[in-house]
């Protein structure tokens, strides 16, 4: 691990657990109150210029969202990752859109997919991928996609015979249209 990465944590005034370190790579976990401070000092004092991604793991068993900010330095040689846990219920995370403008987009996606609130993000209520979604945010693990899919989009009746000839003969008039469209033979 290079010295620059080492200094980011050794010169900070608070505790951090190292999750993994490697050549040009450091991943630490800190308490959520220190995240902003660490991000800011990484950018301003240690040349971590690019925000690559903000990622989320829904750790429903521990009732937390684990957020990870992935930073890279200006030469593209070292990667610094910061993880912190936030409670799942009414999850609120400070926005970093004023430090890295790309974060506005990432946070908008997380708001739509996980329902995480980023107060201060000017665009978080705009639609990102979904249009007019009215359910629980779909990437949360307590959202049951199969149940939602069957409830909303229905299910084609499954076959009851294994013999194709019988099956086809049986199902020909059972399209889901009110007036079945005519069958056709070549």
Partner 1 sequence: MYCNKLPDKPDDRKKIWDKVDNMARANSLWVTAYGTGCGAIELRPLHTSRFDMERFGIAMRPTPRQADVLIISGYLAVKTLKRVIRVYEQIQDPKYILALGSCTINGGMYYDSYNTLNILDRYLPVDVYVNGCMPRPEAIIDGFSLLMSKIKAGKADGWKHYMENLEYYRENQKKVIHNWDLPDYNW
Site of interaction with partner 1 (CB under 8 A): 129-132, 134-135, 138, 143, 145-146, 148-149, 152-156, 175-179, 181-182, 184, 186
- Taking the least distance from each CB to partner 1, the nearer of 3 and 156 is 156
SS3 9: helix
CB of 141 to partner 1, least distance (A): 13
In degrees, rounded to 5, the angle at the alpha carbon of residue 120 between the alpha carbons of residues 60 and 37 is 75
- The residues, ordered by sequence, that sit 6+ positions from 27 with a Cβ below 8 Å of its Cβ are 18, 19, 20, 21, 80, 81, 83
169 CB neighbour count, 10 Å cutoff:
12
Q: For residue 32, what is the DSSP state?
A: G
- Nearest CB to partner 1, comparing residues 120 and 180: 180
CB of 157 to partner 1, least distance (A): 9
Q: How many residues make up the chain in this entry?
A: 186
Q: Which residues contact 179 (CB under 8 A, 6 or more apart)?
A: none
How near is the Cβ of 54 to partner 1 at its closest, in Å?
Answer: 22
Nearest distance, CB of residue 148 and partner 1, angstroms: 5
* 2 vs 174, beta carbon nearer partner 1: 174
If the CB atoms of residues 75 and 154 are measured against partner 1, the closer one turns out to be 154
């Amino acid at each position: 691990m290079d010295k620059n990465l080492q200094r980011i944590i050794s010169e900070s005034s608070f505790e951090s657990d190292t999750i993994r370190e490697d050549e040009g790579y450091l991943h630490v976990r800190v308490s959520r109150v220190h995240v902003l401070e660490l991000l800011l000092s990484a950018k301003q004092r240690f040349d971590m210029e690019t925000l690559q991604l903000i990622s989320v793991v829904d750790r429903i068993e521990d009732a937390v969202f684990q957020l990870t900010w992935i930073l890279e330095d200006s030469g593209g040689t070292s990667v610094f990752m910061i993880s912190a846990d936030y409670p799942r219920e009414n999850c609120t995370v400070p926005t970093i859109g004023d430090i890295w403008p790309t974060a506005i987009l990432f946070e908008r996606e997380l708001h739509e997919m996980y329902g995480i609130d980023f107060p201060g993000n000017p665009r978080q209520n705009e639609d990102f991928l979904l249009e007019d979604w009215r359910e629980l945010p779909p990437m949360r693990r307590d959202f049951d996609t199969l149940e939602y899919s069957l409830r909303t989009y229905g299910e084609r009746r499954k076959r009851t015979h294994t013999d194709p000839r019988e099956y086809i003969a049986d199902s020909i008039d059972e399209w889901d249209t009110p007036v079945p469209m005519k069958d056709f033979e070549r």
